[in-house]
Amino acid sequence: MKPESQRVLEIIKILRRAYPKSHTALYYKTPFQILIATVLSAQCTDKRVNKITPGLFKKYKSVYDFSNAKQSILEKKIRSTGFYRNKAKNIIAASKRIVEDFKGKVPGTMQGLVSLPGVARKTANIVLSSGFKKAEGIAVDTHVKRLSGRMGLSTEYNPEKIEKDLMRIVPKKAWLDFNYILVEHGRKTCKARGPLCRECLVSRLCPSRGIKR
């Protein structure tokens, strides 16, 4: 086993112990709901999304309801998440595609998910891991992007290139929760405005220890 793979395994082991129940912070009950919530979370906090989704899912109870939604009304419901016009357009279009091409069921594959309007690999990975317990890749959001750079797991800036780097060194059996443990660690310790290296459980394994960036 390569030293880098050993380091990654140790990081995963430590963070899993620290965050044993890590999962997406988004509110959802079905694969379709996590799809909608993840689309809404783009450029928005999970906390903000969780404030509107319970009411949103009460009004629009199924993919059929969303596919028939009037865009102007949906825009008002999701306005606080930002970029609401584009999000509403994509949500309605994706819902129609699911109804027409997938018999009303959210596709449980990467290929099927990325064929939906407004769905790229990050969203698809979250839907697969949270909604289907499937791992076809690793979701790269702002936290994973930041921590991957600081921990020396990738030197790339493009999310898809970062994902490829991670998939090469992170064991596939860890893909399912790798995003979630990094997100938890990013929120608690390896913060965007300044990492708390003295409190970091994996600082001895991090090449950026003590460096503010």
Q: What is the CATH number of the domain that holds 61?
A: 1.10.340.30
Could you tell me the pLDDT band of residue 1, with boundaries at 50, 70 and 90? very low
Q: What residues have CB less than 8 Å from 113, skipping those under 6 apart?
A: 35, 106, 107, 119, 123, 124, 127, 128
* 85/155 same-domain check: no
Closest CA to 39 of 59, 159, 28: 28
* 67/150 same-domain check: no
pLDDT 10s digits, 162-208: 999 999 999 999 999 999 999 999 999 999 999 999 999 999 999 99
Q: What is the pLDDT of residue 209?
A: 87
Instruction: Name the catalytic one among 46, 122, 145, 177.
Output: 122
pLDDT 10s digits, 61-115: 999 999 999 999 999 999 999 999 999 999 999 999 999 999 999 999 999 999 9
Rg (CA), the chain: 18
* 78/12 same-domain check: no
* 119/186 same-domain check: no
* 148/159 Cα distance (integer angstroms): 10
Q: Is residue 213 part of a domain?
A: no
**Which of 75, 103, 131 is the last residue in one of the domains?**
131
Our answer to whether residue 165 is catalytic in this structure is no
Query: Could you give the number of structural domains in the chain?
Result: 2
Answer whether residue 116 shows pLDDT above 70: yes
Our answer to whether residue 105 is catalytic in this structure is no
Pairing relation of β-strands 194-195 and 190-191?
antiparallel
* 79/84 Cα distance (integer angstroms): 5
The boundaries of the domain holding residue 77 are 31-131
Q: Is residue 175 part of a domain?
A: yes
Instruction: Name the catalytic one among 141, 165, 172, 212.
Output: 141
Q: Is residue 147 part of a domain?
A: yes
